Amino acid sequence: MEFVAKTRWCSGGSKRALKLALTAPYEFDPGEERNAIKATLIEFWGRWPECKEQLPRSHARSLVDYLVHHPTDFRGTLARMRPELQGMYLSAYQSYLWNRILAEWLVERVPAEKVRPLQLAGRRASPRRWT
């Protein structure tokens, strides 16, 4: 599983983090326009002037406009992302780490026969152990 925050802040991969943030599929993306923007970004990735011409006015287009003038400044482009998006990426990675740590702690301390599946809204319960 890849995370924007991990790629950006822990691995130092600003280019990969930006590509994840702008093009990765997300099941809750709102509507066809967002999917079209992502498809355009994927198709024209690295060809910033062409990409900008194809995009409607949006936050993504503003970021691409910055790349038109600074084609290799992925760190600077990430810094120009909306603060709420940056916070969301960091929170998602922190949540993932917390859940992994808690799962390991539970596996070490709770006998297997005491573990029960938990039905979450919109998800099917799984009887498997955490790993």
pLDDT of residue 71: 96
**Model pTM score:** 0.69
Cβ pair 55, 114 in contact under 8 A: no
Average pLDDT of the chain, as a whole number: 82
* Confidence label for 69 from pLDDT (cuts 50, 70 and 90): very high
Interval 75-101 mean pLDDT: 87
The b/e string for 100-131 (b: 16+ C-beta within 10 A; e otherwise) is eeeeeeeeeeeeeeeeeeeeeeeeeeeeeeee
Residues for the chain: how many in total?
A: 131
Report the range of poorest mean pLDDT among 32-36, 54-58, 66-70, 97-101: 32-36
Greater confidence (43 vs 27) lies with 43
